[in-house]
Amino acid sequence: MTSMERVLTALSHREPDRVPLFLLLTMHGARELGLSIERYFSDHEHVVKGQLSMLKRYGHDCIYSFFHASLEAEAWGGCTLFSDDGPPNAGAPPIRDPETIGTLAPPRVLDSPGLVRVLKAQEGLRQAVGDSVPIVGVVMAPFSLPVMQLGFEAYLDLMFERPELMQRLMELNSAFCSEWANAQLAAGAHAICCFDPLASPRMISPDLYRCTGHPAASETMARIGAPTATHLASGPCLGTVDDLVSTGTAMVGVGGEEDLAEIKEACRGRLTVLGNLNGVRMRSWDEETAIAAVRSAIWQGAPGGGFILSDQHGEIPWQVPERTLQLIADTARGYGRYPLPGGRG
């Protein structure tokens, strides 16, 4: 099977030839090319070369066209702060006065140089791989984007004290997120991952999510013209599986502390499970630990299909060495073949 065939089979809750593996690598492309992280993301051609080099090196089953989340903050007037050994972060929140939300309009994707770089990278990647490997685009979900737009404390104040402005911001963000997602699909992405960490029950009560984030997520998913995944960025998802299903998403990213077998049972036939190797612990894994972690995740999540092996956060840390990534890839290819060892596949 090609990677695309393998992933589509898993998404249909059937067993492909082997468990698909998504190594969600962003910054590691800079290391592949011997560049700083800031310089790597400054040119779409660097990202194309980096992603293709990592695909050749590890033989995983997706191309991850995500640069960094702060590009969306830039589109709203914010800035990006770069680090030598970690992901770029958003600077000061661009919305200083919540009262301005009433007169705001969503930014146009093509007016943002950072977003345009992502689109150019997706065009180049699609030209290189066609439909043989899924290209995954990323957007910040309407409910979680305000953490960068306003800052966490100001956003919580808005949520609890100004429901009319909260509703307006969800409308603006839904329009922006769907335009940004569809622009990526037009450029070459095959599917969209919506990062929504605030949807996790660890962050916000399910009742509050249902009356704020859930309507915005549902509206946004309906506007996106391709399959979507919802990733809670390390947050637990078990308490919100039913809510996520009803948004129309097809896949859920699972936190590293959750029981994959329990999550798989809750999602069976409804959501494909993505996860949940612990990227933080992965930094110090030895060979035995890496192999055991991959085998355990496959053993718990892979029977019956509907499972893609990946990390728990949606981005593998810079500090994870190449030898560990290679061990993960090799073990997944060997141990993850259906029928699974022990007759579980």
Range 46-51 contact pairs with CB under 8 angstroms and sequence separation of 24 or more: 47/117, 47/121, 48/121, 48/124, 48/125, 48/128, 51/25, 51/121, 51/125
For 72-117, the pLDDT digits (tens) are 999 999 999 999 999 999 999 999 999 999 999 999 999 999 999 9
Give the CATH number of the domain where residue 137 resides.
Answer: 3.20.20.210
pLDDT value, residue 9: 98
Confidence of residue 308 (pLDDT cuts 50, 70, 90): very high
Whether the pLDDT of residue 167 is over 70: the answer is yes
Whether the pLDDT of residue 178 is over 90: the answer is yes
Confidence of residue 52 (pLDDT cuts 50, 70, 90): very high
pTM of the predicted protein model: 0.96
If one counts the domains in the chain, the total is 1
pLDDT value, residue 341: 81
Whether the pLDDT of residue 342 is over 80: the answer is no
Range of the domain at 202: 3-343
CB 102 within 8 A of CB 165: yes
Closest CA to 266 of 245, 247, 238: 238
For 216-275, the pLDDT digits (tens) are 999 999 999 999 999 999 999 998 999 999 999 999 999 988 999 999 999 999 999 999
Confidence of residue 68 (pLDDT cuts 50, 70, 90): very high
